[in-house]
Structure 1
Amino acid sequence: MAKGKVGKTVESLGDYLRDQRVTAQLSLRQLAEQAGVSNPYLSQIERGLRRPSAEVLQQIAKALRISAEQLYVRAGIVDPANGMGGSVELSILGDPALTERQKQSLLDVYASFVATNLATGEIADPHAADVAS
Structure 2
Amino acid sequence: MASLNVGNLGEYLREQRRNAQLSLRQLADAAGVSNPYLSQIERGLRKPSAEVLQQVAKALRISAETLYVRAGILDAERDRDEVETRAVILADPTLNERQKQVLLQIYESFRKENGFGVGEAVEDLGEGAAEEAPDDTDVPSDTVVRGTRTAGGSDAGPRRTAG
TM-score under structure 1 normalisation?
Answer: 0.63
Q: Secondary structure of the residue that 1:32 maps to in structure 2?
A: helix
Q: CA deviation at 1:87?
A: 3.3
Match of 2:36 in 1: 40
Q: Secondary structure of the residue that 1:70 maps to in structure 2?
A: helix
1:87 counterpart letter in structure 2? G
Q: CA deviation at 1:95?
A: 2.5
Q: Which structure 2 residues correspond to residues 11-26 of structure 1 after superposition, within 5 A? A: 12-26=8-22
**Aligned partners of 1:58 and 1:79: how far apart in 2?**
17
Match of 1:53 in 2: 49
Match of 1:7 in 2: 5
Q: Unaligned regions of 5+ residues in structure 2, if any?
A: 81-117, 129-163
Q: Which structure 2 residues correspond to residues 66-77 of structure 1 after superposition, within 5 A? A: 66-77=62-73
**Aligned partners of 2:47 and 2:27: how far apart in 1?**
17
Structure of greater Rg: 2
**Aligned partners of 1:53 and 1:91: how far apart in 2?**
16
TM-score under structure 2 normalisation?
Answer: 0.52
Q: Which runs of 4+ in 1 moved over 2 A?
A: 83-89
Cα shift readout 1:65-117 (whole Å, capped 9, x = no counterpart): 00001101111111231x35773440121335xxxxxxxxxxxxxxxxxxxxx
Q: CA deviation at 1:59?
A: 0.2
Q: Structure 1 vs Structure 2: percent identity of aligned residues?
A: 65
Q: Unaligned regions of 5+ residues in structure 1, if any?
A: 97-133
1:73 counterpart letter in structure 2? V
* 2:65–2:121 contact (8 Å) kept in structure 1: no
Q: CA deviation at 1:6?
A: 1.1
Matched, 1:95 2:91: no
**Aligned partners of 1:50 and 1:79: how far apart in 2?**
20
**Aligned partners of 2:10 and 2:76: how far apart in 1?**
20
**Aligned partners of 1:56 and 1:8: how far apart in 2?**
14
Q: CA deviation at 1:8?
A: 4.9
* 2:6–2:47 contact (8 Å) kept in structure 1: no
